Structure 1
Amino acid sequence: MASKKYLLLAGAMSLLASTGFAQVKPSYDALDSSKVPASRMAQFNSFKNNQSDYPAKPRDMWELGLHGGLMMIKGDVHGKPGFGGGVSLRKALGHTFSLRAEYTGSYAYGQDYSLKPTIIANGNPWAQTAALNGGRIVPNYKTASHQVSLDMIASLSNIMFYKSQPKVNWYVLAGYSLLLADVDVDALNGSGAGYDYSGISFTGKRKDILDALKNLQDKKYEQNAPSQGNRTQIGRKDDNQLLRHALNVGTGIGFKVSKRFNIAIEEKLTLPFDDYLDGYTAGAYDGSKDFMYYTNVRFNFNLGNANKRVEPLWWVNPMDFAYNELNSPRRMKLPTPVLPDSDGDGVTDQFDREPNTPAGAPVDVNGVARDTDGDGVPDYKDKQLITPTYCFPVDADGVGKCPDPECCKDRVKATDCSTLVLPSVSFKGSSTKVSSDNEAILASVAASLRSNPACNVLVTGHAGAKAKKGGVDLSSRRVDAVIDYLAEKQGIDRGRFIKQNTPGDAGTVDLAPAN
């Protein structure tokens, strides 16, 4: 009969596998405060603000279960499948462990198929049958039980590294039960006399023996099984209830159908360490104890407000948030990228075609030192920033040599300083520094002065129309900055410059021939 039970179990599992299950991803988000109880909000805020590495545990739903299946007893008497059913309530302690309280009511049956010594001690309901069969009987029983249990369940498959959420949940369990069992036997026929087994051959096939016993017995189970200590006077048969502590162990597998419902198949063993669950003890022949095993199907429903609670935590993969955060960060503090720029020219080394330009040297978008006039001398070395192409080639300082026209080589060129046209230099704000744009202007001025060595220059600063306080000093420093650049950077003799300050545009220094 046990083989039929496992065949039925295999069929149920195949049916569940063939139906398919909804692939529903939980809506749990570690950054969702609506799922966090007030008692854990401090941890939630600390995590959200990057002050703590660990999120707060969310509220999760309770699970209400209805179960039913086959109940059997493994003992001294050959067991037959009975049936059982009940209700359970389960709550998660974390993603792995949970507690389940459960009630199970059941009937289990047994029928042996060989003659055995009768039980004499502690009452003998088999006395009349034993008298007809030389002191021997064929034991049978019907055990009705009530079982209240508290089990610790460990989920084995919800913490996953290669999938998002579990759709199948394997688990194991262990716990404690308080068991109340009423054991009755069919020892007398309908006339109240013992059974006579003389017409049954116990040397044939087991099936034939069981069929013969079935035809002989009336299956009324009218007698209490032999009494044993620690009986209670409640239940269907007065003074015949076994009240026992028991250990539970088991395993199961659950299949998620939706966020609110799952189906599970479970095998649960109850070990009360008692040898009278089947109404018969082999005594000296066998020192083993009886135990019950319950193969059942469970229909489980998640209870709670989905807006305030997540699914039971054994259906939530705690790695899901971590992997999603790595893929699309919402909480992580990502540092500002620091790209190397060895020469400090503002172009990162990855894109810098000239990664060793001197500090402060002007460069283009590719990090290459600028050469404004294309004479082959970079601007930071070029003392003649704009050299006409007809003056090429230039020397190492970028200064070109412009030849006299053929027609004028033998003439002595008179210097006419009044024809020189010199530009003005502009300053921004209160700056007195010659900008890179002004450097190019002053380089052209220097070139003109070199070509006209007899000409001096009047350098005029302006204190502003209203001569604001400090304006004359600022204007004077700007004039000095222009003269310093032409003298120190371009090599023009300081004796050729004449300074003055007059009213005018306060941001401008004018240059003009002084001759």
Structure 2
Amino acid sequence: MKLNLAILSLALCAPAVMSAQDSLAVSNGEYPNTYTSGSANVSRFTQDSKRFNDWSVSFGAGVPLMQSADLTSIKNGNGKNLFGYSAYVSIDKAITHAFGINLQYDRGETRQGWFNTKDPAPANASVYQQVGARTQYDAISILGDINFSNLMRRVDNKSPYRWALHGYAGIGTIGYRAYQKDEFGQRLTTEVELFKTQSFFGQAGAGLKYKINNRIDLEGRVMYVVTTDDQFDGGGAAYSDINKREDQVSDNFFNATLGLSFKLGKHDSHLMWHDPLQEIYYKLDVLAEKNQDIEVCKSGDADNDGVCDDWDRQLDTPAGARVDGSGVALDVDMDGVIDLYDKCVTVPGPVENNGCPLAGATNSGTVTEAETKLDGIEFDLNSDRILPSNTPILNNAVNYINSSTGAYTVVGTTDTRGSESYNQTLSEKRANSVKDYLVKNGVESTKLDALGKGKRDLKYPECDPATKCPEWKNRANRRVYFEAK
């Protein structure tokens, strides 16, 4: 069941993924498109936009040595070492700065056994299985090429480099003719043609390249070739006496070569010699050496409030007024009178009274403890969420109500904006929100009731729907207060 769901999810996502990858499909050839970051530095990739050469042709020659076989080239002190010859040519394509693919053709001859087949055979060579052999081979293979020097290059290596370590591995087809010689002469023992079922082989190894110039590389390479064939060494049939001497089922050999690579293309540099970090270092050096005068407040500061006119939202701030980061004069109590001219900076009041409350707008007489402990709970527009600024007031209310013997009604109100029914519901939510907070923090629920009065009970009744009141009055009307029962 899980597998079916996974397959279904993949099928549903496939169209979106394909569309996201195909930027031309969604942009009709225009850049940037829906799926890009919006950068204007986007262009089609064409042959003309390439910056590096990525093709090369390589040639080389060397010496193959049979190592894992019934007849070997390395005698380990018993007889002499026998050296064959080999050559290769390859067409190389760089995919990235660290990986490429090579199509390679190899041709060579290995020599193995107790003597060189060019020399006379010793007497009784067949009796003592001291025969000589040689194998002429042709091979075609596809090799993966990993540039380890670029792949593992240190971030802090800022120096240009001329040496590079490469790793190779691949598979292909190999055809060969194996000959054996004893006192009776030389004869063909095994022949395998290219592209036959039994001609599959693999090889892997490493090469060290030296950059002579931008067009030519010198490379020393050592490859290990696995033939997957027990008759490659010329030992004869699979169950001949010579082929029974060792248990291995594949005759393998080393191939050490020295060659040249010629880079093709019109560009100066080849992709396999490109270090992407070098571009970063170059750009950082350019930026470090570039002296650029930064002009601060290009448009000036007309009102001299310390905020540049480029981002000043109030260009005529009075001299001496404190401003916020956008250049707007501060009005702490939000009564419409900036602090510079406000005689009551922390208490809201009308403009005509220099920002101080009017005598008739507040309760006269002695301020009671209940007014101090239970008043001042306000809300944002269209919200019943208890603001963090209300928390100290509500905590004082918890202590006051718990210490008293009376019961209270939590009354919620709104400002004059909005319909009657909407404000009634909102005021009830505000009253219940405060009641729930008090009960949650230790007040007995039997001491509290909640009542919503909508916009019928205004702290500033002059703010009717037809009157545009300052925001501080609207905020004061959006409140919760307590009535003793």
Query: Which TM-score bucket, shorter chain as reference?
Result: 0.3 to 0.5
Q: Which has the higher contact order (CA 8 A, sep 6+)?
A: 1
**Superposition TM-score, scaled by structure 2 size:** 0.44
Work out which of the two has the higher radius of gyration on C-alpha atoms and give 1 or 2. Answer: 1
TM-score calculated relative to the size of structure 1: 0.42
